[in-house]
Amino acid sequence: MLCLAYGLAGLVGGAIPVNTGRVAPERGIRVYVADNGIHTDIVLPVTAGGNDWRDLLRPEDLADPRYAAHPYVAFGWGDRAFYVGTPTWSDLDLATVLRAATGSDDTVLHVEHVPRPLAGPDIRALTLRPDEYRRLVRYVRASFRVGADGRAGSVRGYGPHDAFYDARGHYDAVHTCNEWTGRALRRAGVRTGWWTPFSDTVMWWLR
């Protein structure tokens, strides 16, 4: 019953739109939201709108630094044990899910260096005004837990082109990886759901 109530609440929260008066500009900065069926990522250009991610994301953070030459980076946020400990869905177990759902302050950002995405059913393209893009960038940057040197601690990712970075924020069943994406879009002013705990509740509005 608890799982059913949570699922229904998530669907209702995702169905309530915010930023309904926004009209997408014809020209601006192109960003993307990618969905793997369970988790969403925000995909941003390495350099655009006065922002350059290379001050935080260094080639040496990757197993193969050559991938840092890709023009886009995909950002996803979540619980460290859930993210780092489950490189494939077959590695996922109930204990990890329950631990993350009940709350964790040990969070990470998963960052992948990728080519320019191709929009499709699982990748939605958005055009942002410069001020909207700056708000989105500020939100993502604020999610990094940086030290006195201005850098976040990192470990290698699943493959040669990605890495995990120490992050800020509390993860639980309310503040999920997809709600992090939804909150980022709401902060930017994009039309999306009021609460987006599931990937579907993020993607519904990005058409």
pTM for the whole thing? 0.90
Provide the residue ranges of all domains of the chain, joining segments of one domain with +: 15-203
Cα pseudo-dihedral 164, 169, 170, 171, rounded to 10: -40
Q: What is the pLDDT along the chain (207 residues), one digit of tens a residue?
A: 777 888 888 889 889 999 999 998 989 999 999 999 889 999 999 999 999 999 999 999 999 999 999 999 999 999 988 787 665 555 555 665 566 566 788 999 999 999 999 888 899 999 999 999 999 999 999 999 999 888 899 999 999 999 999 999 999 989 999 999 999 999 999 999 999 999 999 998 887
Strands of the chain, DSSP E? 17-18, 29-35, 40-45, 47-48, 51-52, 72-79, 107-114, 123-128, 154-156, 162-166, 192-193
Asked if residue 123 lies in contact with residue 72, where contact means CB atoms within 8 angstroms, the answer is no
